[in-house]
Structure 1
Amino acid sequence: MSTFYLTQLTLDPYAKEVRRALEDRYALHRIAYSLKGDGRKGRLLWRLEPLRGKKRPVMLVQTPFPPELGHFLAQGWGDARVNRIQLELVPGVYAFRLEANAVRRREQKARPLLDPDEQVQWLGEKLAPLELPEVIPTRSVAHVVRKPGGETYTLHAVLFEGRLLVPENGVGEAAAMVLEGVGRGRSMGLGLLSLKRAR
C-alpha cells in the first residue's frame, strides 16, 4: 500500500508572480516545485485545474513526501490544503481526470493529435490494460514553455475526463500510473492521473 500527499494550492490571482505564472508554464512549474524543498527525491506531479466560473485558480500537486509550504506561503501566492492519501485501488470503475501530452512521434518529431477520436485512441493505448467505457477530451491547448536562457517550446496538452475500468489484472498498473504519471511533460504539469471510485 502506497502513501502520497495531494496538495491543493488555491492561487491568489492578484499576486504578481501568480499572474505571470498563469501566462508562463515554466513559472507554474517553479511554483509547484517550491513544495519539494531542498534535497527531497521522488516523483512530483501537478496540474492546473480547469477554471470554474469566477473561482480562483487551483493547482494540484502530488508528492510522495509531505510538501514544504514555507516558501509558497511566505511569498503570498495563495492558500494550501494538504491531504495524506493511502492508495487502495481495487478492481472497478473510477471517474478520472488527466491532462496529457497526446502526440505521435514520427521521424523523431512529435505530431500533436488534434482529432478527438485519435486523442481517445492514444489514451486507450497509454492506459492499457485499463479500459475506457467513457472518455471525453474536454480541452486541447498548446502551452508555451519559456525556460531560463531563452529556450522556448510548445507543449500540446489534452484534458481527458470520464470513467475508466480497472480490471483485476490491472490494479498494479493503475497504481503505478497514479504514482508515476502518464506520458511526457510531467514536470510541466501533465500526466497527473486523478481517480475517484464511481458510484
Structure 2
Amino acid sequence: MTAWLTRISPDLRHPAARRDLRDITAVHRRVMSLVPDDLGDQARHQAGVLFRLDHTTTGPVLLVQTTMAPDPARLPDSYGTVQTRDITPLLNALTTGMSVHYRIAANASKRAWKGDNAGKVVALSGPHAEQWWQRKADTHGLTLRHMHTQPQPAAVGRATPVRHAITLFEGQAFISNPDQARAAILSGIGRGRSFGCGLLSLAPAP
C-alpha cells in the first residue's frame, strides 16, 4: 500500500485558516478537499485519510495522511506552507525488533457498562488513558519502551456537534509485528478518526 504524508503549516493571517482552526468539522472538510470529490459515502476510508493537529511552539501544524496522492492545489491560495512526501519506504522498512519513536493523538475512551454513564462512551485520563494506550499498542504491533502523555485541546465541532477528548502519547517502542504496525498506521487507532484522532506516526530510532 502506498501512502503520503502532507504537512500543512496554516498561515494564521489567512481568514479561511483561522476559521478552520476554530472548528474541527471545518478542518475535516479542508482535509478531505485534498482528495477527489467522487469517492462516495465512505470517502475518508476510500482515500485512507487521517489527520492530526500538532500544537507546536511556532504554531499549529496539520499532518494529513492519505493512500491517494493528495492535491494541495485544491487548498485556497496562500492558505499556508505545504510539504508532501511518500511514506511508503517507511512502511516497507518496518521489521520485527526495530526501535521507533512514536506519536499519536488519540481519543482514549471506553463504553461504560454501569453507573450513571452506562451505555455511553466516556473519555479516559491519567493512568486509565495510559493503560488504554498500552493495550492498543500491544494489539497493533508495538512493544512500548517509554511513554509520555499530555492532554490536548478537545476536538470540537461547531457547525456539526462533535467533541472528542484527545491525549497525546509519544515515546519509544519496538516493532513486535510489522504487519500489525503497518495496518495501524494506515487505518488509525481508536475513535474519532474523522476528526483528528488516531493517526500513528513512527520514525526509526537509533
- Is 1:121 aligned with 2:128? no
- Is 1:146 aligned with 2:146? no
TM-score normalised to structure 2 length: 0.86
- Equivalent of residue 167 in structure 2, options 158, 164, 167: 158
Q: Which runs of 5+ in 1 are unaligned?
A: none
Report the residue type matching 2:30 in the other structure: I
SS in 2 for 1:182: coil
Q: Distance in 1 between matches of 2:33 and 2:60?
A: 17
Q: Which residue matches 2:105?
A: 99
| Contact map agreement 1:96 1:161 (CA 8 A) in 2 | yes
Q: Distance in 1 between matches of 2:38 and 2:86?
A: 21
SS in 2 for 1:50: strand
CA displacement at 1:114 relative to structure 2: 2.0
Q: Which residue matches 1:112?
A: 123
- Count residues in correspondence: 189
- Is 1:186 aligned with 2:193? yes
Q: Which runs of 5+ in 2 are unaligned?
A: 40-45, 113-117
- Equivalent of residue 54 in structure 2, options 49, 52, 57: 49
Summarize deviations over 1:71-123 as a string: whole Å, max 9, x none.
20x443112111012212112221010000001211321111122x1111000
Q: Which residue matches 1:14?
A: 13
CA distance 1:125–1:145, change in 2 (3 Å): same
| Contact map agreement 1:99 1:157 (CA 8 A) in 2 | yes
Summarize deviations over 1:25-84 as a string: whole Å, max 9, x none.
1111111111112225321011111222xx242111110111022220x44311211101
Q: Distance in 2 between matches of 1:4 and 1:76?
A: 25
TM-score normalised to structure 1 length: 0.89
Aligned residues: CA RMSD: 1.5
